[in-house]
Structure 1
Amino acid sequence: MRKMTIFTLFAFLFLLLLSACSSSEATKINLAEVTRSLFYAPQYVALEQGYFKEEGLEVELQTTWGGDTTMTALLSGGADIALVGSETSIYVYAQDSKDYAINFAQLTQTDGTFLVAKDPDSNFSWENVVGSNFLGQRIGGMPQMVGEYVLKQHGIDPHADLELTQNIDFANIPGAFASGDYEYVQLFEPTASVLEQAGQGHIVASFGEESGTVPYTVFMAKQSFLDDNPETITKFTRAIYKAQQWVTENSAEEIAKVIEPYFEDTDLEILASSIERYKNQGSFATDPILDEAEWNNLKGIMDEAGELPADVPYEDLVNTTFAEDVISN
Structure 2
Amino acid sequence: EEAYFMTAIISEEDKKATVKGTTLPDGEVRITYITPSLNLRQHQKATESFTLYLGPRDLYILKALNKKLEKAINFGWFDIIAKPLLVTLRFFNKHLANYGLSIILLTIIIKILFWPLTHKSYQSMKEMRKLQPMMAKIREKYKGNKQEMQKQLMGLYKTYKINPMGGCLPMIVQIPVFFALFRVLPNSIELRHAPFVLWINDLSAPDRLFSFPFQIPFMAPPYGIPVLTLIMGASMFLQQKMTPTPGDPAQAKMMMLLPIVFTFLFINFPSGLVLYWLVNNVLSIAQQYRINRQVG
Higher strand share: 1
Q: TM-score, normalization: structure 2?
A: 0.24
Return the structure number with greater relative CO, CA threshold 8 A, min gap 6: 1
Structure number, greater radius of gyration: 2
Q: TM-score, normalization: structure 1?
A: 0.22
